[in-house]
Amino acid sequence: MSTENRSTGLRHFAGLSLAFAVWVASAVMPSACTPTAAADDPYVFGLVTRTAMAHVPMSATATYAQLIRQLQSQDYADIKVTPLSPNLFDPRPELMHPDLAFTSADNEAAQDTPIHFGWNGTAVRDGRRFEVYVDRAPR
């Protein structure tokens, strides 16, 4: 392949890449620029999706039973938390592995299993499903 053909192909590829980047930015920017929840609301919206999120501050030694009690005290119901982390092959582990999801603070395994920071499952409040994220509690 000659140098001229190679540089033409590279310019064509760069042009297509730029066009794709502009298209992605135009698709993401409207949702990224939408207003978030009011400051006093207990949830915020995600950057790309409009899924509501519940951020729960917990200590590093907390268990899933404590997380469930905390969510229940904030009027959440239908709580499904799991020690599994989502990935590309298993984006909703609390649904795909119900045997590994904790739904009650009375579950012995939930009382012994430590939480992890980040996504931990889902819960419902006021008819809305929330993604449950555990944040480090301030010291």
> Would you state the pLDDT for residue 13?
64
> Would you state the pLDDT for residue 32?
45
Q: What is the mean pLDDT of each run of 10 residues along the chain (139 residues)?
A: 60 63 60 42 50 92 96 96 88 84 95 94 94 91
pTM across the whole model: 0.63
Residue type, 67: L
HSE-up (13 A, CA, CB side) for residue 88: 0
CB 132 within 8 A of CB 119: yes
CA atoms of 43 and 60, how far apart (whole Å): 22
Task: Report domain extents, the chain.
Answer: 1-33, 43-136
Total number of residues shown for the chain: 139
> Would you state the pLDDT for residue 127?
93
CA atoms of 11 and 132, how far apart (whole Å): 45
Reference 116, options 60, 76, 70, 55; nearest CA is 60
